[in-house]
Amino acid sequence: MTTDAFLADCRARLAFDLLSNTWNAVVLWALRDGPRRPVELRERIGGISSKVLTETLRRLQFNGLVDRQAHSDATSRVEYQLTPLGRTLLAPIDAVGAWAFEHGDEVMAAQEAAGAPDPQSARSTC
């Protein structure tokens, strides 16, 4: 890897851009156990609107990380599942989650020490 690996138009930056959207990693993680219908994903994730879920699924599909399967049975159901490429992001997402579990208290303490809470930060008790 060169020293310019994180500059514009590089592959490393592409990966960070994919994971920087709050919902991308959450939806990918929610699909790790197999195909899900949008209603099932909303229930599993919680706190995501139908509109945002649809936008996220379309973005993930556009990037080759999720497949959309329309079933032509009586219910006309749609399911989403990870592609093989999407599955390759599960390990990095898990690593970030493990880091957050280990260091989340330190980050929150630093935020509190800095003063007013950042409106962009998501405080969670999980």
- Output the pLDDT for position 37: 94
- What tens digit of pLDDT does each residue of 73-103 get? 767 789 999 999 999 999 999 999 999 999 9
Burial 30-63 (b: 16+ CB within 10 A, else e): bbeeeebebeebbeebeebeeeebeebbebbeee
Give the mean pLDDT of 115-126: 58
What pLDDT, on the 0 to 100 scale, is given for residue 20? 86
- At residue 9, does pLDDT exceed 80? no
Within 8 A by CB and 6+ apart from 117, the residues are 111, 123
If pLDDT is split at 50, 70 and 90, which confidence band does 72 have?
confident
Tokens representing 112 are 């509190």
